């Protein structure tokens, strides 16, 4: 079974600075999909960014980008120019071909003004 590991339970960043959240995963599949989700106190899970494993190019969405290292099974999220509204729980997720999505334990991000 696939496992997703987020080794940073909590991270803190100064407003306008850059922060990187780590994620590693374990799989025997060659084709899969990776995601970062954000869960603010409102409880809604919000998709931040996605990456297809067959694509070499790292995904970017405005201030959010990933560093996808397939051989190392690593998928980190970089948040640039951090804003107060970025404060939330961030979950790394792995989606396999059989349509189930598994989440890491999460990283709580605090943004300091």
Partner 1 sequence: DTEVTQTPKHLVMGMTNKKSLKCEQHMGHRAMYWYKQKAKKPPELMFVYSYEKLSINESVPSRFSPECPNSSLLNLHLHALQPEDSALYLCASSQEGRRPNYGYTFGSGTRLTVV
- Give the footprint of partner 1 on this chain (CB under 8 A): 31, 33, 35, 37, 42-47, 50, 52, 91, 95, 97-106
Q: In the complex with partner 1, which residue's Cβ is closer, 34 or 79?
A: 34
25 vs 35 by CB, closer to partner 1:
35
Determine if residue 99 is left, alpha or beta; phi over 0 gives left, psi from -120 to 50 gives alpha, anything else beta. Answer: left
- Written as six digits, the tokens of 80 are 């640039």
Q: At its nearest, how many Å lie between partner 1 and the CB of residue 56?
A: 15
Nearest to 15 by CA among 91, 108, 80: 80
CA distance 15 to 12: 10
Work out how close the CB of 103 gets to partner 1 at its nearest, in angstroms, rounded to a whole number: 4
Q: Taking the complex as a whole, how short is the minimal distance between the CB of residue 4 and partner 1, in angstroms?
A: 8
Task: Return the C-alpha torsion angle 35, 91, 89, 13, nearest 10.
Answer: -70
Comparing CB distances to partner 1, the nearer of 98 and 113 is: 98
What tokens were used for 33? 């999909």
Least distance (Å) from partner 1 to the CB of residue 106? 5
């Amino acid at each position: 079974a696939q496992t997703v590991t987020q080794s940073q339970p909590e991270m803190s960043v100064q407003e306008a600075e850059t922060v990187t959240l780590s994620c590693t995963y374990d799989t025997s599949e060659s084709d899969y999909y990776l995601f970062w989700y954000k869960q603010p106190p409102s409880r809604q899970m919000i998709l931040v960014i996605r990456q297809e494993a067959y694509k070499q190019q790292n995904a970017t969405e405005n201030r959010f980008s990933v560093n996808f290292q397939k051989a190392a099974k690593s998928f980190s999220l970089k948040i640039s120019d951090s804003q107060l509204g970025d404060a939330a729980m961030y979950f790394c997720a792995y989606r396999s071909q059989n349509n189930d999505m598994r989440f890491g334990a999460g990283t709580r991000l605090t943004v300091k003004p």
